[in-house]
Structure 1
Amino acid sequence: MLRHRDRIEGDLVIEVAFTDVTLSLGDAADDAVRTAALAEVAEATGATPVLMHQVHGADVELVAGRGDATAPTCDAMITSRPAVALLARAADCVPVLLADPATGWIAAAHAGRPGLAAGVVPRAVARLREQGAEPAVAWIGPHVCGSCYEVPADLQEEVAAVVPEARSTTSWGTPALDLGAGVRAQLSTAGVPDVRVVGACTREDRTWPSYRRDGADATRFAGVIWSHA
């Protein structure tokens, strides 16, 4: 099921949506289950879905067309091709979608704790600008909130040294990280003016997959962005 759909109309229509717990898109899912989920995404969007092999890094890959046999190993993708749906998968990390309505360039990024610190979202913005695009709109998908994402104090300090806005405290008073706040700060610094946030905590809301809540049993959902005439 696709939820929280949004669209921007220009020379090309750019659309975004987020799958939920009803579709299993993780690498650990059975091939048949993941294939069926991707087929549902394709039917709902009218676009060819493209997955990343996500590694919690900051590499950004250009998707030149449809039907690539191998998922790129990266944590962000960009394209200007209509009818290509870029997917960023998560189960507590932050799926971030970017668009330039004037040119039709789009991006999808997976920002977990390491990716946030490595700057995957600013790098995706920079790669779009290298193509002559100006990402004016960003969507931040459901993710574990700063009141739920407990981390050791030394890990909090490590991330906060790079992204101070990510420092947080759990609802029970221990060190935490607010990945969404960190991403919002990075988008602001990068000059993205329109940031739209889906206000859901994956750990608290069972309609979203959560590794923090379900451990190895957690599936993966995806932020999806595509364009069409």
Structure 2
Amino acid sequence: MRVRRIVTTRAGGASRPPYDSFNLGDHVGDDAGDVYANRARLAKELGLAEDRLCWMEQVHGRTVTVVDGTETKAAEATDALVTAQPGVALVVMVADCVPVLLADPAAGVAAAVHAGRIGARIGVLPAALEAMRDLGADPARTEALLGPAICGECYEVPAEMAADVEEHLPGSTARTRSGTTGLDLRAGLWRQLAALGVGHIGADPRCTAEDKTLFSYRRDGTTGRLAGITWLEADTA
């Protein structure tokens, strides 16, 4: 199987400020028609039918939903999607949280995971990998991309909160530019993936708070959502 991975930016959409312009979130107060236009354009640019994009009702939990492309609405109250069906695109939306795109090309299994502070702390990523394993994936063959997210130098949190996350997700504690306690969730998630035996790990180094081509809740408050998308393509002769 060939694995496809895409991360969107703010540019090229129909949404008006403060959601300008390629907002894909339908839960942030943006005009529904503009969001629909953006999602339709996303499908067109990916070369997929709109009903082949699978969305989540993300709630900062650890629930994983297996999809096969026959779904007619977003997966309810879930923070990870897993599929073994080629051509089914899994979408995770973020505006500072970490989008994690996973795939075992040999097994033909892919996943998209929403890993914010709470989800990362309570183990959404191990839960997604376990669901992939149930479909035949092997962590040693699995490829992981940690998408753009707020960096540790920008993500200031109380010291008690950082210590709590560190206890559950070692390697997450950071120091901000101002010298206060922070969190670097990508660093903790990278370490977790390695400990779980994931063989190939990469990271998009962009910080959503620093890069104004990306949406950031911490920077802007009311804002849109970018997306990480992954899907499998069957090999062709």
Same fold (TM over 0.5): yes
1:122 and 2:123 correspond:
no
Q: Which residue of 2 aligns with 1:34?
A: 35
**Between Structure 1 and Structure 2, how many residues are aligned?**
217
1:19 and 2:17 correspond:
no
Q: Is the 8 A contact 1:46 1:83 kept in 2?
A: no
Q: How does 1:146-161 map to 2 (within 5 A)?
A: 146-161=152-167
Give percent identity, aligned residues only.
43
The one-letter code of the counterpart of 1:31 is A
CA-to-aligned-CA distance 1:125-184 (integer Å, 9 cap, x gap): 111001111241001100000110000111111111111200111011001000110110
Any unmatched runs of 5+ in structure 2?
12-21
* Distance across 2 between alignment mates of 1:60 and 1:210: 25
Q: Which residue of 2 aligns with 1:228?
A: 233
94, 99, 103: which one aligns with 2:103: 99
The one-letter code of the counterpart of 1:228 is E
TM-aligned CA deviation for residue 36 of structure 1: 1.4
The one-letter code of the counterpart of 1:41 is L
CA-to-aligned-CA distance 1:158-217 (integer Å, 9 cap, x gap): 11111120011101100100011011011111111111111100000001100110012x
TM-aligned CA deviation for residue 71 of structure 1: 3.2
The one-letter code of the counterpart of 1:19 is T
**Structure 1 runs, 4 residues or longer, greater than 4 Å off:** none
* Distance across 2 between alignment mates of 1:187 and 1:169: 22
User: Greater shift after overlay, 61-70 or 113-122?
Assistant: 61-70
Q: Which residue of 2 aligns with 1:4?
A: none
CA-to-aligned-CA distance 1:77-105 (integer Å, 9 cap, x gap): 00011221101110000000000110211
**More strand per residue: 1 or 2?**
1
The one-letter code of the counterpart of 2:148 is P
Q: Is the 8 A contact 1:66 1:84 kept in 2?
A: no
Any unmatched runs of 5+ in structure 1?
1-11
Q: Is the 8 A contact 2:102 2:145 kept in 1?
A: yes
Taking structure 2 as the reference length, the TM-score comes to 0.88
